[in-house]
Every structure is written in C-alpha cells, then in structure tokens.
A and B are shown apart, each in its own frame.
Chain A
Amino acid sequence: MNRERFGMSAAAILLAALIYFVADVDKILALLVPALVHELGHMFTLRLLGLRINSFRAELKGLCIAYSGYTGALGHAVAAAAGPLWGLIYAMAASFLSQRLGSPWLELSAGVSLLLSLFNLLPALPLDGGRIMYSLSSAFLSHSSARKLTDLSSLAVGLILLALGAYLMFKGYGLAMELAAVWLLIYTGTEHRAFHPREMI
C-alpha cells in the first residue's frame, strides 16, 4: 500500500459513503468535529516537539498520522497524550458553551468527545493510551520488553471489552460495544505484524 501525504484509502471512502448515506449530517458532524480536534491535538504537539508529519490519512481503521524525527520517549508519550487531552478540553468547552447557547448538538459532540478521549486512553495499541504506555515504558525497559508489556496490556483490554460487550449484548443493549471490542482486537492483532512506531491514530 503506497502511502500518500494526505488522502483516504479506498475502503475508507466506501465506509464514509455508507455513513453519509445512512446517518444524519448532524450526527456525522458530532463525530467528525471531536475526531478532528483530537487529530489536531496530535499534529500541533508533534510540530511543537519539532517532529515532521509525513502523512495524514483516513484509513478503514481510523485517521492515521505518520511522523518522523527525533525526540525522547517522553516526547512521544506527550504527543500521543495530546489527542485525548484536546478532546477532553473540547468536551468541557462544548458542554459549557451548550449551556449558554442551549444547543443539543454541542451537548452531543461534548459527550462524543469525552467518550472518544476516554476510549483512546485505554492502554491498548493502537490507541493513544497504548502508545503512551509503550513510550513511557521504553524509557526504562528495552524496546522489545516495552512492546511485550504493551501487547499484553492490549490483549487484556481487548478481552475485557469483549466480555463487557457480550454482557451488554445479552442484556439487550445491542452490538455497539461488542463491535468496538472486536475492532480493537482485530486491529491489535494486525498491528502486531506491522508495528509502525512512528504512527498514531
């Protein structure tokens, strides 16, 4: 797969088309805006750290930023944390703004942003939480040990989510959580073969 500087994979285009067809523009924006804030958080922090952004792509698995350059383990961790951090800030801001303006859309996007940020903080690759864990532990462990630790954590989180999702499904709350868990496990599994240390979603 050839990586372009800025673009979308064909699969992502099809998925986006499906979502556009089926969902409300309102709801799509309530998801898109927090996602963009999240990614911008990553990108600004990467630039601040003096790193170079090689590409920004929309793939089936999510929005991916590939970067290069040198910075310490802490730098990588901070860049990874910036996404969820900006997401949390957005959530608070949107919530307060919605109180003043009475906008249900802002409330929705605030809730989405909060949940997106918290989900991303789970210590599982390829989520930001997993990257933070990998970066921080690689400061005092060897890279392969850090990797093994993070892999273990990813598997544990994936299995817990799977169990939780199954529980919700049987209780009658639908597939949503279960699908998220499956996505995570598949992604973690495939990432194992091709780990890009300089890439984050």
Chain B
Amino acid sequence: MREYKIYLASALFICLTAVKLCFPSVPDRLRRQGAELLCSGTDYGKAIQAIGRSLAQGQLEEQLVQVLEYINPPEDKTVPAGETCWLPFLSGDGAASLTAADIPASLLAGEDALSGRVSLDAPQLPFDHCSPVEGTVSSRFGSREDPLDSEPGFHYGTDIAADSGTQVLAFASGQVSHAGTDDGYGNYCIVQHSDGYATLYAHLSKCIVSSGQEVEEGQVIGCVGQTGRATGPHLHFELSCQGLYLDPENYL
C-alpha cells in the first residue's frame, strides 16, 4: 500500500476517534440525520434482524411476506400512522393491524399528540399495580428537548432517577414479551398485562427476566442502570394500551 495512504488512514482514524470520544453527540446527530434521510423512520436494522432470525426458525417465507405486507398492506388491514413493526415500542407481536375502533373510547378523547399515538387521559387500570422503582421523577411524559442533542422531541415515558443497581419491579402482573438490548433503550424489557396494557422498562444495568416469563406485580425484573442513550442512571418507564402511550406519572 502506498505510503501516503497509510498516513491518510492513520490521521483520519486518530482524529475521528478523538472527535467520537470527546464530542459523541456529533456522530450521533449525523447518524440520525443520515438514517432519517436514508430510511425515513423505518428501522431497517430490526427488519434485517428479523429476517436473520427467521432463517433458523424456518420462517423466512413468512417473514418476507410480513415485510411485503407491511410495505403494501392488503385492503382489509390498516397500519396505524407512525407505527412500524420494527421499533422496540409497545407494538406487541409486530403485526400491528389496529383500527381506531379497537381503542377504548375514553383513551381517544383528550389531547392527541403526534398522529394519535398518545393520550393524556388517565383511565382506571383494570388491575393492581405498584411503582416500578423508588426514585425521583427526573423527566416527565410529553414534549421536551432531547437531553442528548437538544432537539425538540417527545418523551413517551417517565424517567425516574435512582442509583445504579436499584431494583426495578414489575408494574403489574403479566408476561414478559420482549427482553433484549437496543441502541437507544439499552437493556430493556416489555411486560404485557391484561386488557392490552403493556409496560416498558429501559436503560437497565441488567434485566433478570426473559421473554415468555410470567411475572407478578412487584416482582424484581432488573436493576437501574444507564445503558443505551442515557445521561445518568435512571429507569425509563413507559405505559401503553394497545400501542397508545399514556402518562405513567398518573399511576406512580
């Protein structure tokens, strides 16, 4: 290899690594803008992962059909605006085919932020529940400036600050539907409860439950951490009903 290329490559590597370490928000922002440009919100990563996973399960065909159906939904299905199958949000088993009629009327009334994904109503929950962690609310549900890149955004859950390692409890009894790792959420898990409700627990230092496991209200499911996009140790807690986000602070 020609000498000047070695110098070029080394210089670039050293400079870019320095920038990545000292100003992590710069590459983060570029990545997000690039991803927005290239993918327009679709999480190709999760889609490709799903395809990769389906190989071992012998479900490649079904997975590809799901991809095609998602791009071009058949007449009788509607995908809710803004929902995609491949974001680790509370979209259940992925094949979201809700229409407005499926969502309880009391949840649709009231202020509607961001194309109908959010409700500021606080309906009575049809099950016992408890606070998922002991701490103080550091960031509330709703519009806010993104803490990592200072851009306007929407916070779909509540952040509860607590020391690293503090126990995180299951909000209510149910079944763990997802447990894994994500760039943004870090270590996270999702628990499905009765009547279409679900809760998400993110930025965990570790998650001690696995997908498919049944949990009781108050059962320890993990510990507070700051994995993923987090500025400090806290629990990011989301509550939703059939894909519609509610303000968890109403129930803490």
Q: Which residues of A contact B (CB under 8 A)?
A: 4, 6-8, 10, 13-14, 16-17, 20-24, 27, 91-92, 94-96, 98-99, 104, 106-115, 168, 171-176, 179
Main secondary structure of the interface of B (DSSP, over half): helix
Task: Give every chain B residue within 8 A of A115 (Cβ-Cβ).
Answer: 48, 51
A27 to B48, CA, bound (A): 11
A111 → chain B, closest Cβ, in Å? 3
A64 to B181, CA, bound (A): 35
Task: Give every chain B residue within 8 A of A171 (Cβ-Cβ).
Answer: 71
Interface readout for B21-44 with A: 1 if CB under 8 Å, 0 if not?
000000100110010111111101
A114 touches B51 (CB 8 A): yes
Interface readout for B9-22 with A: 1 if CB under 8 Å, 0 if not?
10011001001100
A164 to B51, CA, bound (A): 20
Residue B195 interfacial (CB < 8 Å):
no
Residue of B nearest to A100 (CB): B56
24 contacts between A and B (CB under 8 A): A8-B1, A8-B9, A10-B8, A13-B12, A17-B13, A17-B16, A21-B27, A22-B27, A22-B30, A91-B55, A94-B52, A95-B54, A96-B56, A99-B56, A108-B45, A108-B49, A111-B49, A111-B50, A111-B51, A114-B52, A114-B55, A172-B42, A173-B42, A174-B36
A98 to B51, CA, bound (A): 12
Residue B183 interfacial (CB < 8 Å):
yes
Interface residues on B, range: 35 or more
Closest 4 CB pairs of A and B: A111-B52, A110-B52, A95-B55, A111-B48
A174 touches B38 (CB 8 A): yes
A187 to B52, CA, bound (A): 28
B52 touches A112 (CB 8 A): yes
A69 to B39, CA, bound (A): 43
A17 to B14, CA, bound (A): 10
* Residue from the list A4, A20, A91, A168 in contact with B52, Cβ < 8 A: A91
B52 touches A108 (CB 8 A): yes
A7 touches B51 (CB 8 A): no
Residue of B nearest to A112 (CB): B48
B16 touches A21 (CB 8 A): yes
A60 → chain B, closest Cβ, in Å? 14
A115 to B9, CA, bound (A): 29
Name 6 extra pairs, CB < 8 A, besides A23-B31, A98-B56.
Answer: A4-B1, A106-B52, A113-B52, A114-B55, A174-B41, A176-B38
